Amino acid sequence: MNTISLQIADWLRDVKLADMPASVVEGAKLRIMDLTGVMLAAKDLNVVRAGRDAWTETDAGGAITPVGSKVGTALTTAAFVNGIQASAMEFDDTYLPTTMHATGLALSVCFPEAQRRAISGTKLIESVVLASEMMIRLSIVTNRHWFDYGIHPTGSFGTFGGVCALSKLRDLDASTIVHAFGHAGSMSTALTAAFEDGTSTKNLHVGLSAANAFRATALAERGITGPTAVFEGKFGWYRAHVQTEDERHWERVTTELGGEWLCENIATKLYPVANPLMPHIEATITLRDKYNIKPEQVAGIDAYIKERSFLTLCNPPEKKRRPLTTWHGRISIYHTIAEALVNGKMDKYAYSEEAIRDPVINALADMVQPYADPEATDYLRSQGRVVIHLKDGRTVEHKIDDFRGTRRNPLTTDDYLNKFRANVGDLFPASTVDQAIDGFLNLEKVPDIAPILRSLEQ
């Protein structure tokens, strides 16, 4: 039977770098560099260290290192830790319509594999692009927003994406890929429950998916079979997790494969925050700088945000105004606008423990009133509007239709380089950073990516 799994498997095996448009290849190279920098910036976070310690209790030993570390560990532990590093700061790129974070997941799998076998830059680009494309396509089968179901799409489709990456890196046959997808179906689905109270489970979703991709693939490689219609079957993934009568657009997964590249719509973040809040940071800093606004001048702040993001980024207000954790701050419209207005920048040092307890920031957070924006209905765009009421009677506002980093308002190569340097410049000598940048920008010419990764270990 020509199942969706088989069609994906055949495509994964056939497509090569030469089949990809230059824009797809160049975009992937920049995002690979970007997410590597994000992973390095996050490597010393408490949740990363605690996650590694916890995972090592069950998956101990080995010589595979997470990104930025010289300490060897098990293959799945490295993948798990990589995933936390890629996502914990909310600095990862995003396919806006379904909030899919694909590049970090793909690298969390590819980088440990690169320590087991020589992987060329060409192979890395192929694997990251194909994993990203399939994660996105699997996420658009239904028109409903995944958060409406309490499902985190990256954590739910990530294991499938990781299987895609490993299948390409290992040149697996179609049958093995199909069975690996079958196993992945029983290892996926991540809840959005942490968005309500700010607890840390969401930080683990990419890592869990990356580790499970290795497990699902290993089982299939050893001849253990998995359901061949894991996606569209009567008891398949979508029927199990979306128990409504919504239409299933199966054709979106495989139609125009290789003709239309949805990964070109991935947006890169300049701020470490949930992507719907990107325009609000940009608008707030613009107003702060243009009108020289000080916290003591503010009487109130109105923030307009997409209705579908209201539930997860604005409610419940009593919890979101006083974030429980630094990650909780990254999904709070109240704290985000307040910190941006006080500090005038939001880099890798934003959302610190000090910032989420700062009385000035907290006082401003109490002044933020969010509203669902009836004009923000295009899911391919990330819009936001901030209105600041000043005590002297003035009202100033700024609207962002497409934040910098989206396809309609793309970043330049220099923007990517500046972000990478900002994330890793205090970790390594300038010569090391420059050498790594050269490797990423010329990735298709690199015979083995392992030396680049080793140069970024500490």
The Cβ of residue 246 has, within 10 Å, a number of other Cβ atoms equal to 14
DSSP state of 88: T
Over the stretch 344-394, which tens digit does the pLDDT of each residue have?
Answer: 999 999 999 999 999 999 999 999 999 999 988 887 788 999 999 999 999
Question: What pLDDT is recorded for position 243?
Answer: 76
Q: What is the dihedral of CA 280, 26, 136, 405, to 10 degrees?
A: 10
**Joined tokens for residue 221:** 């490689």
Question: What pLDDT is recorded for position 26?
Answer: 98
- CB neighbours of 215 closer than 8 A, spacing ≥ 6? 76, 183, 187
Nearest residue to 125 via CA among 217, 52, 197, 17: 17
Question: What pLDDT is recorded for position 144?
Answer: 83
Question: What pLDDT is recorded for position 10?
Answer: 97
Question: What pLDDT is recorded for position 367?
Answer: 98
Q: Which domains does the chain have, with CATH numbers?
A: 4-267 (1.10.4100.10), 275-400 (3.30.1330.120)
Spatial contact of 362 and 336, defined as CB atoms under 8 Å apart: no
Question: What pLDDT is recorded for position 247?
Answer: 81
- CB neighbours of 208 closer than 8 A, spacing ≥ 6? 80, 83, 155, 158, 190
Question: What pLDDT is recorded for position 54?
Answer: 96
For the entire predicted model, the pTM comes to: 0.97
Token pair 């974030």 is found at 323
Measured between its terminal Cα atoms, the distance across the chain in Å is: 50
The Cβ of residue 97 has, within 10 Å, a number of other Cβ atoms equal to 17
pLDDT in tens, the chain (458 residues): 799 999 999 999 999 999 999 999 999 999 999 999 999 999 999 999 999 999 999 998 999 999 999 999 999 999 999 999 999 999 999 999 999 999 999 999 999 999 999 999 999 999 999 999 999 999 999 988 899 889 999 999 999 999 999 999 999 999 999 999 999 999 999 999 999 889 999 999 999 999 999 999 999 999 999 999 999 999 999 999 987 777 889 999 999 999 999 999 999 999 999 999 999 999 999 999 999 999 999 999 999 999 989 989 999 999 999 999 999 999 999 999 999 999 999 999 999 999 999 999 999 999 999 999 998 888 778 899 999 999 999 999 999 999 999 999 999 999 999 999 999 999 999 999 999 999 999 999 999 999 999 999 99
d(CA 293, CA 342): 9
Nearest residue to 199 via CA among 98, 323, 289: 323
